[in-house]
Amino acid sequence: MHPTGYPFNPITMNHQNLEIERKFLVTGPFKHLATRHYEIRQGYICSRPEKTVRVRTKGAKAYLTIKGVPDATGTTRFEWETEIAVNDAHQLLQLCDTGLIEKVRYLVPFKDHTFEVDEFFGQNVGLIMAEVELTNYTEKVDLPPWIGAEVTNDARYYNSALAQNPFTLWPTKP
């Protein structure tokens, strides 16, 4: 562990490979504000606390993504992603652990940021979350009125966790 509390050195790491984001539950209407939306299906080839390997189809494109462990704040982690052929993604999805994530992502601009709002389906139906990407973990963000509780540091809301323990099976809902 780096002395800053990161599991990596954020100063020497290529910042293009850092994902810095906050996550929130959505409590109000937002779809009418979206500028775009697309369907996403994703599965996990590897889903461990220290790393995940994800295959995703997103609209007409597909990606392979590797993510590292989040830092102590839950906002920052290593992320490497590359576009792959959609046919390859469909084959790789067959190799994934059980529990595919199915959702529609809406892009909703608000002030200086664009919120990515995911409406989940399948075994996670009923869950709607928003993410906002940041340039650094201390960046201030104005929140729209339809944003609810922050869940950035709650591992239950990671997509990899939702694939293994779907929202519809939680004994109590937020």
Q: How many CB atoms lie within 10 A of CB 71?
A: 21
Which member of 6, 44, 106, 158 is catalytic? Answer: 44
User: If we measure between CA atoms, which residue out of 148, 79, 85, 159 comes closest to residue 123?
Assistant: 159
Q: Which residue has the tokens 């937002």?
A: 30
Report whether 71 contacts 141 (CB < 8 A): no
Beta strands in the chain (DSSP E): 18-26, 36-48, 51-58, 61-68, 76-84, 101-110, 113-120, 128-133, 147-150
157 an active-site residue?
no
How is residue 66 written in tokens? 């590797």
| DSSP H/E element including 46 | strand 36-48
Active site members:
44
